[in-house]
Amino acid sequence: MDVMEKLTILTDAAKYDAACTSSGASRGSRAGYIGNTSSSIAGCCHTFSADGRCVTLLKVLMTNCCVYDCKYCVNRCSNDTRRAVFSPEELADLTIQFYRRNYIEGLFLSSGVMVSPDYTTERMIRCLDLLRNHYRFNGYIHAKAIPGTSPELVTQLGLLADRLSVNIELPSEQGLQTLAPNKTRKAIFRPMNQITHTLKENKEELVKYRHTPRFAPAGQSTQMIIGATPDSDRHILSLTQALYDKYRLKRVFYSAYVPVVENTLLPSLDTKPPLLREHRLYQADWLLRFYGFRAEELLDEDDPNFNPLVDPKCSWALKHPAFFPVEINTASREELLRVPGVGVVSARRILYARRARKLEHEDLRKLGVVMKRAQYFITCKGRVLDGVSLRPDSVLRSLTALERSALPASEGEQLSLFDPA
């Protein structure tokens, strides 16, 4: 099997992993090295696929051979699929060749578990070592840390990569036991905990010794599959909150489950991926990270799942009418961030602009406020925008209309003149 045939198989096998952004790495160019991680402000977040599309990040598996039998995975050992294995030398050379042709700026490297976690990780380390020290590649590298890998190998991997990630896969222990019996939560959280402590120690060492090798400077992330198990949004978001609090993750990624295998324990093959649910979880995740919300504020036992008709921030606002309306000219930053339609940047602009004079409704659009949402929850100089109704049913109807384009369209029925009456 030639290298391009392997590439076709192993890039296709990697497409289900969503955790492939590189925000956070800012290493500049170095004399004698090629590549950097600062050529794009937002970082690398694309892939190179076998269909010929030229993208930024080569997203590939070391191998799709796997000793595990996770029922949701297309690469599980019991699935009859084409297998391929890159040698460390092949993949390192391929990455450099693509970089020199300006196809990519970095590498996202994951792998099936071949023989054992340690054996697989050693091959990944060999590949990254060739890139860094033989080819002197200075660009972005995101590597997957495989649960069950020995701590020494995880440390070596982190010294070669810009970001590490350990996938949680499923939100609950019960889901893992049912669908991924070879994996345990303890084995998943162990490398996460190690990476967190090593990052903290490395940060302290860098203060004392400027030339200390950097360990995973872009931090760590994880991914959860959404829709393969009956876990509620509340459970998923509570787990996300705990991960951010305990492990200081840069990102938690959510991947809508795409049915690729037939199994009685999984949704049927004709089930559509829950893309809208994935979108709502990403919106809620943003509220946790940047807006000061907590998981327990957004969902509770009575409402364990997000309302698909409106975004999570609007949903929270509709459930807490006593908090509104918020007076724009006197509200604190924390209060402004609770208003639908007001973002982090627009809140900062409001605080700055109102130093000069009191703001009117027409000023807010110029400051970046999304008035079609915010108008139902604010006052300026104690006055509601003319013509706006604050009745809860009217507000819900208006906000639902704004979101209608994002909702899945119902499939129409083709009528026939010849159907029996």
**3-class DSSP state for residue 277?**
helix
Q: Are strands 251-256 and 106-110 parallel, antiparallel or unpaired?
A: unpaired
Per 3-state DSSP, what percentage of the chain is helix, strand, and coil (rounded to 5)? 40, 10, 50
CA distance 201 to 73: 35
Sketch the domain layout of the chain as residue ranges.
Answer: 3-219, 312-404
Per-residue pLDDT, 54: 41
pLDDT digits (tens, 9 = 90+) for 149-161: 999 999 999 999 9
> What's the rounded Cα separation, in Å, for the pair 63 and 345?
43
Q: How many CA atoms lie within 13 A of 420 on its CB side?
A: 0
Among 43-57, 65-79, 375-389, 393-407, which is the least confidently predicted range?
43-57
**How many residues belong to the chain?**
421
Whole-number Cα distances in Å, 56 to 11, 49, 106, 141, 376? 14, 10, 7, 12, 42
Alpha helices in 266-412, H assignment, sequence order: 275-290, 295-298, 312-319, 333-336, 344-353, 361-366, 371-374, 392-403
- Using one digit for the tens of pLDDT, what is the confidence trace for 107-131? 999 999 999 999 999 999 999 999 9
Residue 83 has pLDDT above 90, yes or no: yes
Residue 27 has pLDDT above 90, yes or no: no
Q: Is the pLDDT of residue 173 over 60?
A: yes
Query: How high is the pLDDT of residue 361?
Result: 95
DSSP H or E stretch at residue 30: none
C-beta of residue 151 within 8 angstroms of C-beta of residue 196: no
Cα 323 from Cα 337, distance rounded (Å) = 12
In DSSP terms, 60 is beta-bridged to 109
> Is 32's pLDDT higher than 70?
no
pLDDT at residue 24 in the model: 47
In tens, the pLDDT along 376-415 reads 999 999 999 999 988 888 998 999 988 876 565 544 454 4
Percent of the chain residues past pLDDT 90, beyond the cut: 73
Cα 321 to Cα 283, 339, 344, 388, 390, distances in angstroms: 21, 11, 22, 16, 10
Regarding beta strands 220-226 and 251-256, do their DSSP bridges make them parallel or antiparallel, or are they unpaired?
parallel
Distance of CA 106 to the CA centre of its chain: 18
For residue 237, name the pLDDT band (cuts at 50, 70, 90).
Answer: very high
- What is the amino acid identity at position 174? Q
Structure tokens at 172: 């609950």
pLDDT of residue 57: 82
The model carries a pTM of 0.87
How buried is 307 (Cβ within 10 angstroms: 0-12 exposed, 13-18 middle, 19+ buried)? middle
What is the pLDDT averaged over residues 309-329?
95
The Cα 199–Cα 158 span in angstroms is 9
Q: Is 220 within 8 Å of 164 (Cβ atoms)?
A: yes
